[in-house]
Amino acid sequence: MLRDLFRIFTTWKWKSLTTSLLVAFSGLILIVIAIISLNNYRLTVDAAEQNSQVYIQEIMRQVNTNIQSYIDNMENISLLALTNKDVTYYISSNSFISKSDSRPYEKRISDLFQNILYSRNDIASIMVFGYNGRTVSDRRITALNPNIDPKQQSWYIDAQKMNGKSIVSPPHIQNVIRGEYRWVISLSRELKSNDGITPEGIFVVDLNLSVIDEMCSQIYLGKKGYVFIVDGTGNIIYHPQQQLLYSSLATEEIPQVLSTSSGQSFTVDDTKGKRIYSVQDTGLGWKIVGVTYSDDLIANKSSIQHSILLYALLGIGISIVISLLLSLHLTKPIKRLQRDMKQVELGNFHIQTSLEEDNEINQLGQSFNVMVNEIKHLMDETVQNSEQKRKAELLLLHAQINPHFLYNTLDSIIWMAEQEKHEEVVDMTSALAKMFRASITRDQELVSIRVEIEHIRQYLFIQKMRYREQLDYVFDIPSHILHYKTVKILLQPFIENAIYHGIRSKTTPGIIYISAWQEDEQLIFEVRDNGLGMSAERLAEVTQGTVATNTQHGIGIGNVNERIQLYFGTTYGMTMTSVLGEGTIVTIRVPVIL
């Protein structure tokens, strides 16, 4: 498996268009997804934090409301005492001489307080300390702590200072009752006489601190979060780690809490971790502070992280697959074209690439098809051409050693030898030899005009020996064109035609005019005879090649024309004009070739 992977890795075409497209798409999508995911994460976390802050503030408000309701209750109890006639009378400075007179009042007040206490378990004690020295409480018999002077207690002193308004103390040990040391919060106020001016005593109601403690400790602010309360000067009212704070084993952000207004929050990030302090003011001048650890949201946070990561990866996975398919789809026609081109490279010109989509690549494919068709056509043409050339060459070879002509000539030589015309025999044989040399010795297609003319000259010489007065010929070849080249056996077939079809059957002697001249970049040869000529129909037949001329002993004139056009193109060739009874003119155009 690993080796396969490695092989794929190494053989993978990293520079292929598909890979480039894939990488480009994937990279682009990756970046976009990464940005979106990060942003999404940030926003989600922000929103979660904001939500939790709102939630915590709400809890703080709730705590505040609860504390306030406890305080309000104490306030109400104090008002009850304040307005109670028994209480007022009991502590008034001008009544009760004897202790026994005061007993019923004491009992009634005590009953009242007790009733209140029974109905409310959050209240620890209710007491009245008269300035006249009388004390009454919810206890039937109030045993005061002999070692503690109530007048020295801060709740007593503070109440005196407040001039009839109630005051709430910080949590403290209520030590005025003998044998009881309870943690309480005291609400105390100075009681006035009926005139509302003369102070007559101190009323105190104690709230069990456990009520506040329970309330605060039951608030769940994440695993590590907690609630604490400070008063307006920064003294700790309640803190789960109060003892640690006293021992300096823990610190709290008191100054920052004090400077934060109600409903606001601030964030602290130190060795204990990032946490948010949400501050809520109470009516007492206290500040309730909810502390939540940022990583307590981590369960939340990490699940957000995970889910965003998951979705991002899912998105990336899907997008990679899609970009894969897309790049494959885009490069598929190119690949197909490439594959087809390779086929063409290997020589298969029958291929036609398929055209499916209508796009640029389709156009490319169309062009490719046209090109391949063109190449194929040209190739065919080339094949055909070379075939024709071979055929023409065969015919040419035939013409070069025309057996009929050779036979006739040799027959003539024999005849002349029998006549003992030795000189003529020598002449003719020599001409024959020259003729053959001119036509055979050269292997190449192109021969100089000089050679061609020499060949014709020898041929005509031999024919002249045979036909005597019947045949005559005139050469008009300018010497400056003799070194040009042209295809061999260019003129001989026409001269042969002129002799066999024009002059031989004629009663009067025939003359063949052979001339050549240069016209710009063309050479023009003309073979003119004053033989029998042809009718227009016959001429058309001959020029179109429907009638095989000279088939048994020479090359057809069509063959010459074909050869010219094969070598030099269709702009060149042979034309023939003929008038019946007057003769035939053959004009041959070839390019000037050095």
Partner 1 sequence: MRNQRIIWWIAILLVAGALYIISYFVWFTSAHEEEGTIMIILKSNSPQSDFWQTVRSGAEEAAKEKGVQFLVSGPLDDTDINSQLNALQDALTLKPRAVVIAPLNDQRVLNGITRLQNAHIPVVVMDTPLPVNNAPSSVSSDHVQMGMQAGRMAAYQTNSAPYVAIIGDYQSSSIFKAREQGIKQVLGAVAHSHTTTYYSGESEQLAYVLTTKLLDEYPRPNALIVMNEPIAVGAARALKERHLDSMMFIAFDSSFYEIELLEEKTLDALIVQKPFNMGYLAVQKVLTDSNSLSSQHSITMIPSTVITPTTMYTPENQKLLFPFYEK
Rule CB under 8 A: which residues touch partner 1?
4-5, 8, 12, 145-148, 170, 172-173, 175, 179, 181, 183, 209-210, 213-214, 217, 223-224, 226, 235-236, 240-244, 246-247, 249, 272, 296, 299, 302-303, 306-307, 309-310, 313-314, 317, 320-321, 324, 328
Give the H/E segment covering residue 519.
Answer: strand 510-519
Provide the sign of the torsion angle of the four alpha carbons 501, 507, 509, 511, taken in this order.
negative
Compare residues 198 and 354 and give the one whose CB is closer to partner 1: 354
> What is the C-alpha separation between 278 and 225, in angstroms, rounded?
11
Tell the smallest beta-carbon distance from residue 337 to partner 1 (Å).
14
Compare residues 321 and 579 and give the one whose CB is closer to partner 1: 321
Biggest CA pair distance of the chain: 206
Tell the smallest beta-carbon distance from residue 302 to partner 1 (Å).
7
Instruction: Kindly state the tokens that stand for 298.
Output: 């981590």
β strands within 131-198, DSSP E: 135-137, 167-168, 172-174, 182-192
Instruction: Kindly state the tokens that stand for 23.
Output: 């990488």
Compare residues 307 and 551 and give the one whose CB is closer to partner 1: 307
> What is the C-alpha separation between 389 and 412, in angstroms, rounded?
34
Tell the smallest beta-carbon distance from residue 355 to partner 1 (Å).
19
Compare residues 175 and 408 and give the one whose CB is closer to partner 1: 175
> What is the C-alpha separation between 278 and 410, in angstroms, rounded?
136
Instruction: Kindly state the tokens that stand for 540.
Output: 């058309």
Instruction: Kindly state the tokens that stand for 594.
Output: 């050095």
Compare residues 323 and 463 and give the one whose CB is closer to partner 1: 323
Tell the smallest beta-carbon distance from residue 324 to partner 1 (Å).
6
Compare residues 297 and 451 and give the one whose CB is closer to partner 1: 297
Beta bridge partners of 179: none
**Which residues 6+ apart lie within 8 Å of 542 measured at CB?**
534, 549, 557, 576
Compare residues 320 and 593 and give the one whose CB is closer to partner 1: 320
> What is the C-alpha separation between 333 and 323, in angstroms, rounded?
16
Compare residues 150 and 556 and give the one whose CB is closer to partner 1: 150
Compare residues 242 and 429 and give the one whose CB is closer to partner 1: 242
| Residue listed under structure tokens 């297609």 | 445
* Closest by CA position to 534, among listed 577, 589, 481, 470: 577
Compare residues 82 and 215 and give the one whose CB is closer to partner 1: 215
Q: What is the DSSP letter of 177?
A: B
> What is the C-alpha separation between 436 and 360, in angstroms, rounded?
63
Q: Is 334 exposed, middle or buried (0-12, 13-18, 19+ CB in 10 A)?
A: middle
Do 254 and 242 form a contact (C-beta atoms < 8 A)?
Answer: no
Distances (CA, A) of 95 to 101, 109, 127, 499: 9, 16, 20, 182
3-state secondary structure of 341: helix
> What is the C-alpha separation between 339 and 331, in angstroms, rounded?
12
Do 560 and 412 form a contact (C-beta atoms < 8 A)?
Answer: no
Tell the smallest beta-carbon distance from residue 178 to partner 1 (Å).
9
Compare residues 9 and 519 and give the one whose CB is closer to partner 1: 9
